[in-house]
Amino acid sequence: MQGESWGRYPRASQHIVALHRRDRLPDAGTGTWLPRGNGRSYGDVCLNDGGTLLHSAGLDRFIAFDPASGVLRCEAGVQLHQILDLVVPQGWFLAVTPGTRFVTVGGAIANDVHGKNHHVAGSFGEHVRAFELLRSDGSRRICTPQENGEWFAASIGGLGLTGLIAWTELQLRRIASPLIATQTLKFGRLDEFFALSQASDRDFEYTVSWIDCAARGKSLGRGLFMRGNHAPTGAGSATVPRRSPGMPFTPPMSLVNRVSLRAFNTLYWHRQRQPIRRSVDHYLPFFYPLDGIAHWNRMYGPRGFLQYQCVVPPAHASDAIGELLRQITASGSGSFLAVLKQFGNRNAPGLLSFPRPGTTLALDFPNDGGPVFALLDRLDAVVSEAGGAVYPAKDARMSGRHFRQYFPRHEAFAPFVDPRFSSSFWRRVMES
Ligand X SMILES: Cc1cc2nc3c(=O)[nH]c(=O)nc-3n(C[C@H](O)[C@H](O)[C@H](O)COP(=O)(O)OP(=O)(O)OC[C@H]3O[C@@H](n4cnc5c(N)ncnc54)[C@H](O)[C@@H]3O)c2cc1C
Q: To 10 degrees, the CA torsion angle through 163, 168, 174, 178?
A: 80
145 upstream amide cis, omega within 30 of 0: no
| 121 vs 159, beta carbon nearer ligand X | 159
| 207 vs 423, beta carbon nearer ligand X | 423
The CA distance from 409 to 429, in Å, is 14
Measured over the CA atoms of residue 86, residue 89, residue 92 and residue 95, the dihedral's sign is positive
Of 3, 10, 35, 51, which one interacts with ligand X (CB under 6 A)?
Answer: 35
315: part of which helix (H) or strand (E)? none
Of 113, 185, 213, 214, which one interacts with ligand X (CB under 6 A)?
Answer: 113
CB of 90 to ligand X, least distance (A): 24
Residue 170 binds to ligand X (criterion: CB under 6 A): no
405 phi and psi angles, rounded to 5 deg: -70, -45
CB of 273 to ligand X, least distance (A): 28
CB of 421 to ligand X, least distance (A): 8
The CA distance from 97 to 251, in Å, is 31
Of 25, 28, 45, 190, which one interacts with ligand X (CB under 6 A)?
Answer: 45
Residue 56 binds to ligand X (criterion: CB under 6 A): yes
| 323 vs 407, beta carbon nearer ligand X | 407
CB of 219 to ligand X, least distance (A): 26
Of 8, 22, 114, 402, which one interacts with ligand X (CB under 6 A)?
Answer: 114
For ligand X, the binding residues in 93-112 under the rule CB under 6 A are 98-100, 103-104, 106-108, 110-111
Of 14, 32, 38, 424, which one interacts with ligand X (CB under 6 A)?
Answer: 38
Nearest one of 332, 390, 77, 391 to 214, comparing CA atoms: 332
The CA distance from 402 to 425, in Å, is 13
Total number of residues binding ligand X (CB under 6 A)? 33
Residue 122 binds to ligand X (criterion: CB under 6 A): no
Q: Can you spell out the DSSP letters for 2-22?
A: EEE-TT--SEEE-EEEE---S
Of 3, 70, 115, 301, which one interacts with ligand X (CB under 6 A)?
Answer: 115
Neighbours of 66 (CB within 10 A): 11
Q: What is the CA radius of gyration of the chain?
A: 21
Q: Which residues bind ligand X (CB under 6 A)?
A: 6, 34-41, 45-46, 56, 76, 98-100, 103-104, 106-108, 110-111, 113-115, 159-160, 164-165, 290, 393, 423
